[in-house]
Amino acid sequence: MQQTWQDLEMAQPRVVPFLIASLKKDRLSHAYLFNGPAGSGKSAMAIYMAKRFLCRQATGVDPCQVCKDCMRIDHGNHPDLHKMTVDKQTIKKEQVTALQKEFSYRGMESQKKVYIIHDVDKMTASAINSLLKFLEEPTQGTLAILLTENREAVLSTLLSRTQQINFLAPSHENMVAQWMKAGVEERHAHFLAALTGNTALIKEVTDGDWSFQARGVVLQLMKEVYLKRDHAFLTLSDKWLPLLKERFQQQLGLEMIFLWLKDFLYMKIGKEKGLVYVDQLQVFAQIARSTSTQQISRGVEHVMEAKRHLNANVPIQLVMERLLFKIQEG
């Protein structure tokens, strides 16, 4: 089913009217910075804007959806739409230079060009300097859309040369609906919606019941961390590491542990409404007899530290072994 501005507005009720007004007045900026959390729809919005910008049959604010330009964008092979993503944690000058060379030519299909840069906060200083020339002296018929989840990490020189638009985090209800649309049972959809707002992960997380398996391993691992201390490291080696091989899986696994500890803490202080692991109350009660709220809070802090180490490319086995040891240490 083709998206429309109306579909996008359901997730971003403040962003879409602003962009539509710009289109109606023919006052699109030459460069936008979309800032917002994963799953907020930045990529979908960027693609739809590109489609409208490149569509030669559009008569209103929406693209026609049926012309050659629209169809090529849908299939990811439009020659005048270029995307740039992170290469080994950074966007390098060479990537920007190659893009600038491409944009020195006229559009192949139309007289326009669009480029979308993901994770612009991860650009190297030299890459940013190369990009600034275009932002300061844009060529006619060119649109740049820069995406970030961390506006604070974007250099002020880029911020000052773009139209900044902030995206809201997706609502829990919206995410539940999207997970259920992907075929997830409602109860588990609530769990996944609490776990991540990144709709780009829906296929990966639901493929082959991975999320069910990962949840089961987390429940076993955390119970053993507190009640069968020696078994926890065996479960880490035999079940956790073989199942959570990809980076996004490891990140979600740590988030599952974070949510487990948060539920445990809420249960400990008598706030049991809205728990993610509502089926674990008996386990929480068993562990709570020998665990203080301070120890649980420190466990949450240790998970946050583990997330930072994982993002810094520390090997997952070292990250997890250190995390389990610290939680057991209290």
The full set of domains in the chain, from first to last, is 5-166 (3.40.50.300), 172-329 (1.20.272)
The reported pLDDT for the residue numbered 170 is: 75
Pick the residue with more confidence: 62 or 88? Answer: 62
Interior/surface letters 256-283, b for 16+ CB within 10 angstroms, e for the rest: bbbbbbbbbbbbbeeeeeebbbeebeeb
Q: How far apart are CA 219 and CA 86, in angstroms?
A: 33
β-pairing verdict for 113-117 and 142-148 = parallel
The reported pLDDT for the residue numbered 202 is: 65
Residue 166 contacts residue 42 (beta carbons within 8 Å): no
Average pLDDT value over all residues in the chain: 86
* Helical segments of the chain, H only: 5-11, 15-24, 42-54, 68-74, 93-103, 125-136, 156-159, 172-181, 186-195, 202-206, 210-227, 229-235, 241-243, 247-268, 281-288, 293-311, 316-329
User: pTM to 2 decimals?
Assistant: 0.63
Q: Residue 4 has what DSSP assignment?
A: -
Pick the residue with more confidence: 248 or 232? Answer: 232
What is the mean pLDDT of the segment spanning 234-257?
93
